Amino acid sequence: MESDTCDLSEGMSTERAYEAEPVPSLSETITARSLAVSFVLAVTLTVVAMKISLNSGFLPSLSIPACLLGFYLSRALIRLLEFMEVSHLPFTRQENTVIQTCVAACTTIAFSGGFGTFLLAMGRKSAGDDHARHDVNVEEPSIPRMIAFLYLVSFAGIFIIMPFRKVMIIRHQLTFPSGTATAHLINSFNTPQGATHAKLQVSMLFRSLAGSLAWSVFQWFFSAGKDCGFKTFPTFGMEAYRQGFFFDFDMTNVGIGMICPYAITLSMLVGSAVSWGFLWPYLETKEGDWYPADLRSGSLSGIKGYRVFIGVSMILADGLFNFLSIMFRTSRTMTKRRKQPMSSAGGNVKQPFQHLIAEGPDMEQQKTAKSFDERRRAQVFLRDSIPNMVTIGVYILLAALSTAAVPILYRQLHYYHVAIVYLMAPLFTFCNVYGYGVTDMNLSSTYAKITMLVFGSWVGLRDGGVVAGLVACGIMMCTLSNGGDVMQDLKTGYLTLTSPRAVLISELIGTAFGCLINPTVFWVFYKVYKTGEAAGGDIPDVPYARVYRGMAMLSVGQDGLPRHSMLLAKIFFMLALALCMLRELASRWEWRVQAYLPSTVAMAVAFFVPPDMAIGMCVGSLVLWLWERTDPVEERILSSPVASGLICGDGLGSLVSSLLTLTKATAPICIKFLSRGDNEKLDAFLAKMPAT
C-alpha cells in the first residue's frame, strides 16, 4: 500500500524505470566505442555546421541529431560485435550523453571558433576595398594559426564555469531548456518504445540525407559555367530574379526553415522585402551622388557600406536590448531565490542541498514527496566531486599561456590586452550562463561584440585596431560560448545520471576534436571559394564575416563611408530598438499582435544575405506547416530527422562538389534561364554562325 501511495505522489518517474540498473563507472561511460562513434559523427556534423555557419551566420543546435545518430550508430556497432561474437559493454544512456556532449562540443566551434565571423572577417575577402585593407588590419586565414589559436582559447571557459555547477543546477535549479530537452530525448531513446521511435527517426533521417545528397550531386552536372544550373531558376520571373527573389533549390535552407520557428523565417522574408526589395534599389539610384560610381561591389565606400552598417546597427540594438533585459531578469530572479528561504517560517521552502541533510521520519516523508528523481539525480551529481581549486588553477594556467602566445600569433594585440580579456571573462561567463539557463539565449556573441568595440578603439586604426578588436572578440566568444555549452551539457548529464567528471572529460575531448576538425573542414570550403574567385566566379556569401568586419571598422573610425550611411544606421538602430521594446511589451501583456511582430536579428541578417535564402527557409516552413495540418503526430516525431537529413545531405553534397572543384573537374552541362528577348537575340546570333 505504501509503495502504491509513493507511486501516485511521484507521478511519472523517469528514474524508477532505471532503478534496477547500476550507474556505470567512468571507464564504462567513456569507452573506445563511444570515442570512435563521437569522432565519426563529429566529422560528419562539422561539415553540416560549417556550411550553415558560412551561409547564414548562425548555427542551430545539432544536439538532437548528435544524440539520435549516436544512439543508432552505437546500437549498430553493438549488433556487429555480437555478430562477430566479440564481448562488449552494454550501451547506456550515460554513454549516449557522452557521445552527444563530445559531438556538440566539436560542432559548436564551427560558430564560436569564428570561421563564419571574426576569423574570416580579418581576411582580404571580407575587407574588400575598405580603407582599412592595408597589411596591419588584414590577417589571412591559415590552418596552423587557426588551430593554434583555437587550442589556446577554447578550453578556458570550460574550467572557469565548473565551480558554479552546483549553484546553478542544484541550488537555483536553472532549466537550461535545450539541455533538458536533449536529456528527455536520451532518456526516452533507451526505453523500448523510445528505441522503436529512434529506429523510425533514424530511418527517415538517412532517407532524407540520401535524397538531399543525390539532388545536390545531380545539380552539379548542370553547373558548367557562371549562372548555370537549377540554382538560377527564375521562380517569380526575371525582374524578381535580378533582385534576388527566387527559389534556389538549396536543401540546407529548406532544412533550416523546418527547424527554425515560423517567426524567424517570416522575419527574414520581411527583412528581404524591406532591404532587397525597396532600400537597396533606392540607394542604387543614388550612385554617383551619395557615393562614387566606379567602385567595386566589395567596397565599404559604396552600396556595401550601407548594407553593412544598417544591418550592424540593427544587430547592436537587439543585442543591447536583450543584454539589458536578461541582466534585469537574471538579477531579479537571483534576488527572489536568495530571499526565498527567509520568506517562510513553515519549513515548506526548499533549502539548498536539503535532501542531503534531512533526518528523521518527518523529513523522510518530505523527501519522498520531493520526488525520487530529484534525490537520485542530486546524489549522482554530487558524488563525483571536482575540486574548485583545480578548475580555477587550470583556468589561470590556460589564461597565462594564452596571454603569452596570442600576441605572437596576432601582433596587433599586446599581452596586457589579452590579460584584461581574461580578467573580464569570469564575470561575463557567469552572467551569460545564468541568463542562458533562465532564457535559453546564449549571448556570448553580444559580450564579444562589446569587447571588439572596446579593444578596437583602444588600439586604433593605425596600429591594427580592426584585427585587434576581432581577436579580442574571438577570445571572449570562445570562452563564454564554451562555458555556456558545458553548463548545458552538465544539465543533460544531471537528468541522465551521467557523472560530471564524464561530462567534463567528454567536453574536453570534443573540444580537442573541434580545434582540429573545424579548421580542416573550413580550409576545404575556403580553398574552393578562392578557386571560384580566381576563375571569375561568385564567392559564396558569408554574411556575418561582413558584419564583424563592419563592427571592427566602426570601432576604429568612420572615414571613407558613403554619404548618409551613419544617419541611416542611427535611424534603423532606433527603429530596431523600438521594435524590441514593442515585442517585449506585447509578450509581457499577451497582446494578440505579438505573433505578428518580426524578429530584429532575423530581419538584420536578411539585409546581408540574398532573398533566395529567406525564400528557401519559407519553403521549409511551408512544408512543415502543411505536414502539421495533415498528420501532426507524424510531424512531431519525424520533422526534425527529415530536416537534419536535408541539411546533412546538402552539406555532404557540397563537400563532394568542393573536392571535385579542387581536382579541377568541371560539370559537363550548363543550363541557363533567359528572358524571351535575350533568347531571341541568342537564336539570332546562333543562326548567323556557320554550321559545323
- List of residues 6+ apart from 157 with CB closer than 8 A: 425, 429, 478, 479, 480, 481, 482, 483, 486
| pLDDT per residue as tens digits for the range 444-462 | 877 788 888 889 889 888 8
Would you give the distance in Å from CA 573 to the centre of its chain? Answer: 24
pLDDT of residue 363 exceeding 50, the answer is no
Rounded distance, CA 113 to CA 54, Å? 12
Would you give the distance in Å from CA 557 to the centre of its chain? Answer: 30
501 pLDDT tier (thresholds 50, 70, 90): very high
Spatial CA neighbour of 496 closest among 175, 104, 92, 91: 92
| pLDDT per residue as tens digits for the range 553-605 | 877 765 567 888 888 888 998 998 999 889 888 888 878 777 788 888 778 87
Give the model's pLDDT for residue 1.
37
CB atoms within 10 A of CB 561: 23
Would you give the distance in Å from CA 475 to the centre of its chain? Answer: 17
- Amino acid of residue 605: V
Give the model's pLDDT for residue 118.
87
Q: What angle do CA 538, 539, 545 make, to 5 degrees?
A: 150
Q: Where are the alpha helices (DSSP H) in 535-564?
A: 543-556
Give the model's pLDDT for residue 195.
59
Total-model pTM: 0.70
Rounded distance, CA 38 to CA 390, Å? 27
| Lowest mean per-residue pLDDT among 145-159, 257-271, 557-571 | 557-571
Which residues are 670's β-sheet partners?
A: 223
- Average pLDDT estimate for 307-315: 79
Instruction: Select, from the ranges 357-361, 435-439, 540-544, the one with the highest average predicted confidence (pLDDT).
Output: 435-439
- pLDDT, the chain, mean: 79
Cβ atoms of 226 and 538 closer than 8 Å = yes
pLDDT of residue 349 exceeding 50, the answer is no
pLDDT of residue 535 exceeding 60, the answer is no
Give the model's pLDDT for residue 71.
84
| Lowest mean per-residue pLDDT among 6-10, 142-146, 444-448 | 6-10
Cβ atoms of 179 and 108 closer than 8 Å = no
Give the model's pLDDT for residue 515.
95
Cell numbers given for 418 = 589579452
Rounded distance, CA 331 to CA 251, Å? 42
- Higher per-residue confidence, 208 vs 260: 208
Give the model's pLDDT for residue 290.
85
Cα distance from N-terminal residue to C-terminal residue, the chain: 96
pLDDT of residue 28 exceeding 80, the answer is yes
pLDDT of residue 132 exceeding 80, the answer is no
Cα-based distances in Å from 454 to 25, 68, 582: 47, 42, 29
Measured over the CA atoms of residue 545, residue 547, residue 548 and residue 549, the dihedral's sign is positive
* E strands present in 334-473: none
Rounded distance, CA 445 to CA 320, Å? 11
Give the model's pLDDT for residue 56.
63
pLDDT of residue 74 exceeding 80, the answer is yes
| Lowest mean per-residue pLDDT among 318-327, 386-395, 584-593 | 318-327
- Higher per-residue confidence, 359 vs 228: 228
- Average pLDDT estimate for 488-496: 90
300 pLDDT tier (thresholds 50, 70, 90): low
Cell numbers given for 675 = 528572358
pLDDT of residue 511 exceeding 90, the answer is yes
Instruction: Select, from the ranges 109-123, 185-199, 315-329, 556-570, the one with the highest average predicted confidence (pLDDT).
Output: 109-123
Cell numbers given for 644 = 537534419
Give the model's pLDDT for residue 13.
62
How do the residues of the chain divide into helix, strand and coil, expressed in percent and rounded to 5?
Answer: 75, 0, 25
471 pLDDT tier (thresholds 50, 70, 90): very high
| Lowest mean per-residue pLDDT among 90-104, 334-348, 546-560, 562-576 | 334-348
419 pLDDT tier (thresholds 50, 70, 90): very high
342 pLDDT tier (thresholds 50, 70, 90): very low
